Amino acid sequence: MTVYYTLFTFLYQTGDAFAFLVLSACGLAIIFGMMGVINLAHGEFIMCGAYVCAASARAGLPLPLAVLAGALAAGAAGMLIERIVIRPLYDRPLDTIVATWGVSMIVTQSTLILLGSTMPGTGTPFGSFAVGPYSYSIYRVVLMGAALATLGLLWLGFTRTRFGVLARATIQVPHIAQALGVNTGLVYSLTFGLGAALAGLAGGLYAPTMTLVPTMGSAFVVEAFVTVVVGGADIFLGTAPAALVLGIIKAALTSWQGQLAGQIGLLVAVIIVIRILPRGISGWILRERA
């Protein structure tokens, strides 16, 4: 029986790591993949989602609605920042790195000044369940479901809706989309807003599981970047498989040698992938297919 318990623990940890990687990376992946913008303020959109979620939950909003409020707040902040900071820099991709890094520092420090060094959180709901001698958090399983649901909804959104088709057209040949009547400025604005809202969603979903501090975004950002670099620019062909592979690596190394080994394993994996697949998993798949 112990073999099964160990196997279940491994699956649970892989699923947990997968969910964390998918949810933290998909907003970053959409903004990078669709717009070519490397958004260093990604962590701050996550923090925004977490703070708004925790504040709404403590004000009495049910948790699912509080998570949604966090996502919407981050999305609105994203559209505002796209309009004032990113838009003038579309033909200067390297400068967007510096600009979003600046946004990140301003937001972190302002939050520290205005709201203090921590913010009261909200407890983790649902309690736990036991398999054999070990007990597991039910909420973590909910997070795995949320990660899969997010991927599924994004896929439907980008392939089955009018906005999805126009967004993909805009990404592929922007000036022609424009010449065919597509308001590409609006498409970019909504895409950036969607990426920020997904970051906010990650923040809101993980808010009940962690301490809320102004720099909490950095806990997500490293893993988000690792996932996007390994996956490449395409969220479905890249981010999802990358999150799965990295989730397995992380879970295996963590259960074998502890948390630190898991983190080191991720970084080693990214270095190896950059050496052999410089355009990530999706770049490799698209090239094989072409």
Name which of 118 and 183 has its Cβ closer to another protein: 183
Between CA 32 and CA 34 the distance in angstroms is 6
Q: State the Cα–Cα distance between residues 215 and 204, nearest whole angstrom.
A: 15
Contact between 165 and another protein per CB under 8 A: yes
Q: Which residues contact 241 (CB under 8 A, 6 or more apart)?
A: 231, 281
Residue 157 Cβ, how far from another protein at the closest point, in Å?
A: 14
* Candidate list 179, 260, 264, 267; residue touching another protein; CB under 8 A: 179
Name which position in 84, 114, 127, 172 contacts another protein (CB under 8 A): 172
Among 181, 275, 276, 288, binds another protein (CB under 8 A): 181
Asked if 78 and 103 count as a contact pair (C-beta separation under 8 A), the reply is: no
Nearest to 22 by CA among 208, 223, 215: 223
Q: What letter would DSSP give residue 125? A: P
| Residue 62: count of CB within 10 angstroms of its CB | 10
Instruction: Note whether 161 binds another protein by CB under 8 A.
Output: no
Do residues 205 and 124 lie in contact, with contact meaning Cβ atoms separated by under 8 Å? no
- Please pick, from the candidates 182, 249, 252, 285, the single residue that binds another protein as defined by CB under 8 A: 182
Residue among 162 and 275 whose Cβ is closer to another protein: 162
Using CB under 8 A, which of 7, 176, 268, 272 touches another protein? 176
What span, in angstroms and rounded, lies between the C-alpha atoms of 106 and 120?
22
Contacts with another protein by CB under 8 A: the residue count is 18
Which residue's CB is nearer to another protein, number 166 or number 269? 166
- Is residue 267 involved in binding another protein (CB under 8 A)? no
Phi, psi angle pair for 86, to nearest 5°: -80, -40
Candidate list 3, 133, 162, 275; residue touching another protein; CB under 8 A = 162
Binding site for another protein (CB under 8 A): 162, 165-166, 168-169, 172-173, 175-184, 290
